[in-house]
Amino acid sequence: MLNWNNLDTTRAFEELKKAEKVDLTKAMVGESGGERVRKYHVPMSAGLDYNFAAKNVDDNILEKLAALAEEQQLVDKYESLLNGDIINTGEKRHVLHQLTRGQLKGDVIADGVNKRAFYKEQQDHIAAFAKKVYSGEISNEKGEKFTEVVQIGIGGSDLGPRALYIALENWARAHQTLKMRARFISNVDPDDAAAVLNATDLAHALFIVVSKSGTTLETLTNETFVKNALTREGLNPAKHMLAVTSETSPLAKNEGYLAAFFMDDYIGGRYSSSSAVGGAVLSLAFGPEVFAEILDGMHEEDKLALNRNLLENPEMLDALIGVYERNVLGYQTTAVLPYSQALSRFPAHLQQLDMESGGKSVNRFGEPADYPTGPIIFGEPGTNGQHSFYQLLHQGKNIIPMQFVGFRSNQTGMDDVIEGSTSQEKLCANVAAQIVAFACGRDNENPNKRFSGNRPSSIITGDQLTPKSLGALLSHFENKVMFQGFTWNINSFDQEGVQLGKVLAKKVLAHETDGALAEYSKLLNV
């Protein structure tokens, strides 16, 4: 039997609050700092490694975090999720996204269907479809091959797939496996769709309408927007459009598609990149084999997350250090800072993943959770961020824990030695320097030039951002967020907080407003 207890009722949390704090300005200097970097790391899959030397932890705090993991039964709860228990209490649903990349426990049967078999079948359908597109068996009305793909979707039906596509576009080019260029339309701002359509060769483009619910205003509007543009060009939309949705959604009943691929209600939008939501666009763009490698990386990392030893479970450790920062040290924000231009949209994806999952004020039974839960997430790739908001990270009044990501090699192989070092070396030198500058700080008689230090960060390192390491990275964060939710005893798998605004927007469009809503509507001419 699992205990679902609030964090502030646990003994381990009390112990953690009492434990002596670690001051990085002492711990990270000199040889003891070097020793921490060598000691405080956990291997991940796909050659990645999670290093937490520059976090405010030591053996004593790690021991207490391990006790918290046990008391909150984090791995047992993960196993229960994998076994198909109803973990999403708010919506009374299973949580099955890990099953899209492999099966770690017994068969999960839901609505009379073996869910692993269902997800695999969808992947196979997508792979078969992609091969027909490449061969020209599926072509446009003139019998010409499709060369581009455009995804229409928003939130989880956009951010993850888009972040993954951008992450691998240059890698795929360098490996001659960029089969079709992909673009994305998400915003209901007509200028978003217009910009993408203007840059797209419509006659040779496939459009994938992606909506789990099949009811999202932005996506349905953009679908019609695109259909109108195709019709104006004399093209038949039904010969250019695919759908990815759940079998019960209104989109599933629509005839106007070349093909439809399915996911279901047991996969939250922000966890859906490994389902058909990401599978269709990524398989078409890079080939199904590349998508399968992403899934492999995810599955390997999902497996690591089952390890009961905290120091061998990078997801659980990252999660609990985050809880320590949020609930003991009182830090409100986490910055995600990949030193990789390819990961430029990864922070945006993690914002949805983390903030829709952790942004809760009640526990999984709807009772108050009287302690801070999910942090504010933001981020940009380095080194760009260094020339923008790092000033506040170094000297501002808020301490913002940081999550760096860095790779030893770049993706394209194109690099030059300039002034004694390559660009990749300059990139890597900067991330190393930042970690130490944040942790150790620097004294100066001029207060304006003083760095107080003790600003914690971790780094995930790897050889190169490949489909497999990208998959491992994504699964790391998905599972980190899940473990944090278990620790806080919240439901990480619903998002009721997005509903109210949608309801009011409908009222505005139906002209059923009064008071402030009426005045704002006037102000915006709607």
Ligand X SMILES: O=P(O)(O)OC[C@H]1O[C@H](O)[C@H](O)[C@@H](O)[C@@H]1O
Residues marked active site are found at 356, 387, 502
Site for ligand X in 129-158 (CB under 6 A): 154-157
Q: Judged by CB under 6 A, which of 115, 179, 240, 270 binds ligand X?
A: 270
Q: What tokens does 466 get? A: 């490949």
Give buried/exposed letters for 105-120 (b at 16+ CB in 10 A, else e).
eeebebeeeebbebbb
Closer to ligand X at the Cβ: 186 or 403?
A: 186
Closer to ligand X at the Cβ: 30 or 250?
A: 250
Q: Judged by CB under 6 A, which of 77, 212, 349, 480 binds ligand X?
A: 212
- Closest residue by beta carbon to ligand X: 269
Question: CB-based contacts of 234: which residues, under 8 Å, 6+ apart?
Answer: none
How many Cα neighbours within 13 Å face the side chain of 99?
28
**CB-CB contact of 358 with 378 (8 Å):** no
Q: How many other CB atoms are found less than 10 A from the CB of residue 284?
A: 26
278 is an interface residue for ligand X by CB under 6 A: no
Nearest to 318 by CA among 214, 205, 457: 457
Closer to ligand X at the Cβ: 51 or 211?
A: 211
Nearest to 147 by CA among 202, 209, 227, 189: 202
Of the chain, the end-to-end C-alpha distance in Å amounts to 54
Shortest distance in whole angstroms from residue 502 CB to ligand X: 7
Closer to ligand X at the Cβ: 270 or 326?
A: 270
In angstroms, the CA 176 to CA 347 distance is: 27
Shortest distance in whole angstroms from residue 394 CB to ligand X: 34
Shortest distance in whole angstroms from residue 212 CB to ligand X: 4
Shortest distance in whole angstroms from residue 270 CB to ligand X: 6
Site for ligand X in 484-523 (CB under 6 A): 495, 498
Pairing mode, if any, of strands 41-43 and 259-263?
Answer: unpaired
In angstroms, the CA 228 to CA 220 distance is: 12
Sign, Cα dihedral of 175, 180, 186, 187? positive
Q: Judged by CB under 6 A, which of 213, 344, 424, 464 binds ligand X?
A: 213
> CA-based diameter of the chain, in Å?
75
Query: What are the Cα distances from residue 118, in Å, to 97, 190, 262?
Result: 12, 36, 9
Sign, Cα dihedral of 52, 57, 58, 62? negative
Q: Judged by CB under 6 A, which of 151, 216, 275, 434 binds ligand X?
A: 216
Closer to ligand X at the Cβ: 154 or 166?
A: 154
Q: How many residues bind ligand X (CB under 6 A)?
A: 14
**CB-CB contact of 282 with 294 (8 Å):** yes
Decide: helix, strand or coil at residue 205: strand
Closer to ligand X at the Cβ: 278 or 471?
A: 278
Shortest distance in whole angstroms from residue 504 CB to ligand X: 14
Shortest distance in whole angstroms from residue 352 CB to ligand X: 7
> Residue 4 gets which letter from DSSP?
-
Q: Judged by CB under 6 A, which of 140, 151, 170, 219 binds ligand X?
A: 219
User: Which amino acid type is present at position 56?
Assistant: N
287 is an interface residue for ligand X by CB under 6 A: no
Closer to ligand X at the Cβ: 221 or 344?
A: 221
Shortest distance in whole angstroms from residue 204 CB to ligand X: 26
Site for ligand X in 315-374 (CB under 6 A): 356
- The helix/strand count (H/E) of the chain reads as 18, 15
274 is an interface residue for ligand X by CB under 6 A: no
Shortest distance in whole angstroms from residue 377 CB to ligand X: 15
Q: How many other CB atoms are found less than 10 A from the CB of residue 188?
A: 17
Nearest to 454 by CA among 470, 443, 466: 443
Q: Judged by CB under 6 A, which of 170, 200, 211, 334 binds ligand X?
A: 211
273 is an interface residue for ligand X by CB under 6 A: no
Closer to ligand X at the Cβ: 411 or 495?
A: 495
Interface mask (CB under 6 A) for ligand X, residues 451-490, using x and -?
----------------------------------------
Residues that bind ligand X (CB under 6 A): 154-157, 211-213, 216, 219, 269-270, 356, 495, 498
